A and B are shown apart, each in its own frame.
Chain A
Amino acid sequence: MRLLVTGATGFLGRHVVGEALRRGHDVRAVVRPSSTAEAPELDHSRVELARVDLRSKRGLVEACANVDAVLHLAALKSGDMYAQYSGTVVATENLLEAMVLAGAPRRIVGVSSFAVYDYLHKRSRTVLDEGSDLEPEFPPRDEYSHTKLVQERLIREHAERQNWDYVILRPGIVYGPDNLWTARLGISANERRWLRIGWLATLPLSYVENCAEAIVLAAERPGPLALTINVIDDELPTQASYAREVLRRLCPRPRSRTLPWPAMRLLAWCAWVTNRMGLKGRAKLPAILIPARLHARFKPLRYSNRRLHESLGWSPRYSLAEALERSLRP
């Protein structure tokens, strides 16, 4: 297959390109015009670079021509709502429009996120899977979850209107080399100090190479397709066990302090009530003092990847221990 990969220079995108090549596909990798990102995966005879910026329509139709499927990973994770709209939503609008104008491809794999789920109203220790309630688009919980929700909706609406095959993949926390810290552990003030929140919550981890394989499998799976699948590994550690494994391997080891989840939950609730009652909700609080955001990061839940196994025939290539070793390999 010839695959168009957006976000190809990103942390996950580089591994998706590598996995696609490993499985014998040709890749057209979307990189920004002035990008100088050095990724060994892109320096390959079966990789063609498409230097376009998805926030603009220029050159996008040509980029979408003569490919069998689009693996859409590009998104902006930081910045205010308008920056993330531009980098995630407008980028997706432009890509979908270009796919229509190009006449092909007729298959899209959209990479979304666990950020789309509603955690606040979900009961602790219940199972979160693809059927769980989503965060409402309005009012937005935060910029990232809102723009990912809109992005998912756009892909679904376009695919159904155009009769395309589509798979929405929702990876959990994607980790790997240079990316072992996760906001579900707490707050990382810097490389030397961690303030952790909670011990016992299960982390919905997805090792980057395992995740990349799932994304390429979704592109390969015979149609017709209209699927939404969570992407997480089989072996999911708790916050405490993951932090212990990571800390054991880091040198120098960061200093780490932990706040109990119930205490943090109470603190956020008090801050929320004070804001609502005393300040008419106008105060801008830190994310960990906003209950909906706090619960999204630290609430103890259980997770299922049954659909990932059944629909894509996926099984993780690397265990947690192997993944950590590979992540810290020099």
Chain B
Amino acid sequence: MRRRKSGMGSRVGAPVLRVAVIGTGRISEEHLRFLATDPRTSLVGVCDLSPSLARYAATRFDAGAAFTDYAEMLTTARPDVVHVLTPPHTHVAILRDCLMAGAHVIGEKPVAPTLEDFETLWSLSRARGRRLIEDHNYRFNRPILRIEEALRAGRLGEVRELEVRMCLAIREKGGRYADENLPHPSHRLPAGALHEFLTHLCYLALRFVPTWDAVHATWSKCGGGSLFAFDDLDALVLSGPTHARLRFSSTQSPDCFTVTVRGTRGWAEADLFQHSLSIVEPRRVGQQLSPLANQAIRGVALAGAAVAGLWNKVMQVTPYEGLATFLDRTYAALVTGEDPPVGYDDMRGAAALIDALLQARGESPRTAAGSA
């Protein structure tokens, strides 16, 4: 007998969506944990090429059945929604099959390796009357949502500069991206393993700098070898008086993922790995004392973040905390028929910016033919 669920977003009498998951690797745990507690969904199937891994996910998260062939799952389980969590190079074909089978799809990023592929998928989803939704989970992390609130309230003024910085030791020996015995599937993407992180950088940048005029990108390979196409990116996205810097480094330590928004009145920095936020803005104590007030407030916030960090570690709150909010809002939209939280403009914008960054490899600044 399936467990009765009582998570957030409960709606009395609301239809229960039949949900299936394809791909039961590491990221699936975050999706399945949400689905296991959300009362709007019923997990009717999980699918993986490994029978044991599919069985593990099905048992652990109380799925209706385990499959090793997603086509069979689409036919027999008849899901309303499918989460596609397979390696990125397989997304287009699987998403297409799911849409053809009449399911809404929630795809891990990137749903398509190029803008052209994305547009093709989008057209198919429109033609089939189904939703195509890309996971932009970090957009829904609390620090990012709080920066958006601060901007809406005018506390930071107009955005003038943005930096999205991700440092990850993806070349570290023993790490999954550096494994030469079984190269990670993301190495097959146009920008190699780095491509897998580009979508995050781009959708976060576009959240604060929605349009752009030109892109300049420096792609590098600091570590040599043939496995990685690139392991370092330093890109500048120009939008009138506003500049956005997108930075990925595999050589800087420690690992970090920060978003810094500088406006005409103040600035804010979110640390997405440490779940912390600093805001510097004019305080009520006046212009002279505002710097002191900001220092004191930041000090308290930093100490609080250290305690919260320890608590988060113990309570297994991961940097994927935004995924639950993203899925909650997505399912709310699927149930009511409203627009989902990640829409066409968001996905197309990210895909277009990635295309521009890729085209800017070793070239002069690329202008915004594909700007959102």
A interface residues, Cβ below 8 angstroms from B:
32-35, 53, 55-56, 80-83, 85, 89-90, 93, 137-139, 150, 154, 279, 282-285
Contacts and interface: CB of A to CB of B under 8 A. Distances in A.
Interface of B: 25-26, 29, 50-53, 56, 59-60, 176, 180-182, 313-316
A34 B176 CA distance: 14
Given A93-B50, A93-B51, A85 B182 contact: no
B314 A34 contact: no
A256 B59 CA distance: 43
Most chain B beta carbons < 10 A, residue from A82, A279, A284 = A82
A156 to B, nearest CB: 13
B52 A150 contact: yes
Nearest to A55: B182
A33 B60 CA distance: 34
The 9 closest A-B pairs by CB, nearest first: A53-B181, A32-B181, A34-B180, A82-B26, A89-B52, A90-B50, A283-B314, A284-B316, A55-B182
B315 A282 contact: yes
Contacts of A284: 313-316
A255 B355 CA distance: 58
A154 B53 CA distance: 12
Nearest to B27: A82
Nearest to B25: A82
Contact of B316 (A35, A137, A282): A282
A321 B181 CA distance: 40
Contacts of B50: 85, 89-90, 93
Contacts of A33: 180-181
Nearest to A53: B181
A279 B315 CA distance: 8
A240 B56 CA distance: 39
Main secondary structure of the interface of A (DSSP, over half): loop
A213 B53 CA distance: 33
Given A53-B182, A81-B56, A283-B314, 11 more contacts: A53-B181, A55-B181, A55-B182, A85-B50, A85-B52, A89-B52, A282-B316, A283-B315, A284-B313, A284-B314, A284-B315
8 contacts: A33-B180, A53-B182, A56-B182, A83-B176, A89-B53, A93-B52, A282-B315, A284-B313
A85 B56 contact: yes
Contacts of B313: 284
Interface centre among B29, B52, B53 (most CB of A within 10 A): B52
Contacts of B52: 85, 89-90, 93, 150, 154
Contacts of B26: 80, 82
Contacts of A82: 25-26, 29
Contacts of A89: 50, 52-53
Nearest to B317: A282
B256 to A, nearest CB: 21
A146 to B, nearest CB: 8
Nearest to B51: A93
Given A85-B53, A93-B51, A138-B59, A34 B315 contact: no
A285 B316 CA distance: 10
Nearest to A83: B176
B237 to A, nearest CB: 34
Nearest to B313: A284
A137 B26 CA distance: 19
Nearest to A92: B52
Contacts of B59: 137-138
A305 B181 CA distance: 38
Contacts of A138: 59-60
A82 B315 CA distance: 20
A286 B314 CA distance: 9
A89 B60 CA distance: 16
A136 to B, nearest CB: 11
Contacts of A150: 52, 56
A158 to B, nearest CB: 11
A324 B50 CA distance: 42
A85 B56 CA distance: 10
Contacts of B25: 82
A280 to B, nearest CB: 10
Nearest to A154: B52
Contacts of B53: 85, 89-90
A216 B307 CA distance: 54
A81 B26 CA distance: 8
Contacts of B180: 33-34
Contact of A34 (B60, B181, B316): B181
A279 B316 CA distance: 12
A138 B60 CA distance: 7
A154 B60 CA distance: 18
A90 B314 CA distance: 30
A32 B179 CA distance: 11
Contacts of A93: 50-52
Contacts of B182: 53, 55-56
A55 B181 CA distance: 9
A56 B183 CA distance: 10
A160 B26 CA distance: 32
A263 to B, nearest CB: 22
B156 to A, nearest CB: 35
Contacts of A56: 182
A32 to B, nearest CB: 4
Nearest to B52: A89
Contacts of A90: 50, 52-53
A93 B50 CA distance: 8
A285 B315 CA distance: 9
